[in-house]
Amino acid sequence: MTSRGSGEERGKMKGIRELAEHLDISIGTVSRALNGKPDVNEETRKRVLEAAESLGYVANQSGRALRKGATGVIGFMMQTGSEITGQGDTFFMSVFDGVQTVFARHKLDLVALLCSSEEDPNDYLKRVVARGFADGIILSATRRHDARFELLAKRRIPFITLGRSLTDVGQPWLDLDFEGMAEASIDRLVARGHKHIAVTRPHDDMNLGYVFEDQCRATLARHGLRLDERHVFRSTPNEAGGYQIACELSALDARPTAIVLINEAITVGLYRGLVEAGIMPGRDMAIIGRQSPHSQFLSPRLTSFSLSLRDLGIALAESLLATMPAFADYYPARSERFLWPMALVPGESD
C-alpha cells in the first residue's frame, strides 16, 4: 500500500496510473476491472470500482480512443445559423432524445457536430471524419446531390442519413414519407372540391422539395388535374419566407384555393400574410402543413401531418448501429431504408 494518506475527492484524478498506485494494483488489472473483463477477481473489481467512484476517475477519452480505435461517439451533423435547415431546435431535440435512448444502452454518446454557416459542409465533414472524431455519423438536411455521402462512403465511416438524395452510395436512410403526405393532402383537398392547389418547397436544393413537388404533381394528375407552375412557391424555411409566399399568392390573378406546406417553420408567417391580404385561412384558403409546436395553437388550427420524433430517433439510431460491425450481435446487419409515415391531424385550416 503506497502511502497517499488522504487527498481524496479533491481536484482532478491524474489517470489510471495514479488510481492503480492508490490501490496498489497494476494498471492492467485496474483497466480490466473497469471494463468488465472476466479475468479479474470480483472482490478486487469491487475495490477498483469504488475507488474510481470516490476519486472521480473516468478513463481519458483520447487515450482510450487511441488505443481502441473507436471513440464511442456518434456525431449528428447540423448546420448552425438560423435559417439553414428550416427545422427548429425542438425538432432535433426531440429526435436526439430518441437516438439517445438507444445509444445509452451501448455507452455511446451523441454529440451534435455543428458546421458553421461560413464553412463548406463538405470540408467540415472531411475534417471531422479524418480526425477520427466519431465512430459514426448521422446526416440530415440532405440535398438533391450530396457529396457528403460519397465522402463518408469512401472513408468507410458508418453513417445513416435522415433524408434521401440522388447521390446514393448504398447507405441506410430514413426519411419522412413526403410522398404519402403529398398524396394524402392532395386527395383530401381534391375530395373537398379544390381544383387549384399550390405547394411550397425550400428555396434551395434540399432533396425533399423535389420529392414532394413531384408527388404532388403525380397525385394531381391522377385526379385529372395539373400543378400550375405559378403555384409552386419557393421560400426560405422561416416565417419571413411564409409571409413572402402569402404576398406572392395574394398578388396572383389566378389564385389557388388551397396550399400544402412542406415546411412547418413558415406557417405563422403565411397565416399573417394571408390575413393581411384579406384572405382568411381555412375559409378563403385551405391550408395543410406540418405539425410544429405552435400548429395546434394557430387560428384556425392547422390541419397537419404529425409524427413521433422520438420514435424516429430510435429507428434512426438502431439502423445506424445495424451497419456498425461492433454492434452486429445486437442488431442484425442490414442496410435499411425506410419511409417514416406521418399521420394527418385534422384541424380547421382546410
Partner DNA sequence: TTGGCTTCCGTAAACGTTTACGATACTATG
Partner DNA sequence: CATAGTATCGTAAACGTTTACGGAAGCCAA
Residue 289 near which of DNA, a second copy, none (CB within 5-8 Å, type-dependent): none
Asked if residue 235 lies in contact with residue 200, where contact means CB atoms within 8 angstroms, the answer is yes
Q: How far, in Å, are 93, 98, 112, 131 from residue 310 at the CA level?
A: 9, 4, 16, 30
Give CA–CA dist 214/227, Å, rounded.
Answer: 10
Q: Tell which one of 36, 156, 229, 332 touches a second copy (CB under 8 A).
A: 156
Burial class of residue 201, CB neighbours in 10 A (0-12, 13-18, 19+):
buried
* Residue carrying C-alpha cell 500500500: 1
Binding of residue 83 to a second copy (CB under 8 A):
yes
Residue 34 beta carbon to DNA: minimum distance, rounded to whole angstroms: 6
Give CA–CA dist 131/95, Å, rounded.
Answer: 26
Could you give the string, one character per residue 42-61, with x where binding to a second copy holds by CB under 8 A and - elsewhere?
A: --------------xxxxxx
Eight-state DSSP code of residue 166: S
- One-letter amino acid for residue 83 of the chain: E
Phi, psi of 66 (to 5 degrees): -65, -45
Binding of residue 306 to DNA (CB under 7 A):
no
Binding of residue 283 to a second copy (CB under 8 A):
no
Burial class of residue 35, CB neighbours in 10 A (0-12, 13-18, 19+):
exposed
Residue 290 beta carbon to a second copy: minimum distance, rounded to whole angstroms: 13
Q: Which of residues 85-114 bind a second copy (CB under 8 A)?
A: 85, 87-94, 96-97, 100-101, 104, 109-114
Query: Candidates 125-133, 136-144, 166-174, 254-262 — which segment interacts with a second copy by CB under 8 A?
Result: 125-133
* Residue carrying C-alpha cell 391550408: 287
Q: Which of residues 221-260 bind a second copy (CB under 8 A)?
A: 238-239, 242-243
Residue 225 beta carbon to a second copy: minimum distance, rounded to whole angstroms: 31
Q: Tell which one of 4, 8, 53, 66 touches DNA (CB under 7 A).
A: 66
Quick one: 40 or 266, whose CB is closer to DNA?
A: 40
Q: Tell which one of 127, 222, 226, 283 touches a second copy (CB under 8 A).
A: 127
- One-letter amino acid for residue 335 of the chain: S
Give CA–CA dist 291/311, Å, rounded.
Answer: 15
Binding of residue 117 to a second copy (CB under 8 A):
yes
Which grid coordinates belong to 311? 420514435
Residue 17 near which of a second copy, DNA, none (CB within 5-8 Å, type-dependent): DNA
Residue 44 near which of DNA, a second copy, none (CB within 5-8 Å, type-dependent): DNA
Binding of residue 60 to DNA (CB under 7 A):
yes
Residue 32 near which of DNA, a second copy, none (CB within 5-8 Å, type-dependent): DNA
DSSP-based three-state secondary structure for 274 = helix
Burial class of residue 160, CB neighbours in 10 A (0-12, 13-18, 19+):
buried
Binding of residue 126 to a second copy (CB under 8 A):
yes
Q: Report the candidate in 242, 255, 251 with the shortest Cα–Cα distance to residue 197.
A: 255
Q: Tell which one of 14, 145, 222, 334 touches DNA (CB under 7 A).
A: 14
The footprint of DNA (CB under 7 A) covers: 14-17, 25-29, 31-32, 34-35, 37, 39-42, 44, 57, 59-60, 62-64, 66-69
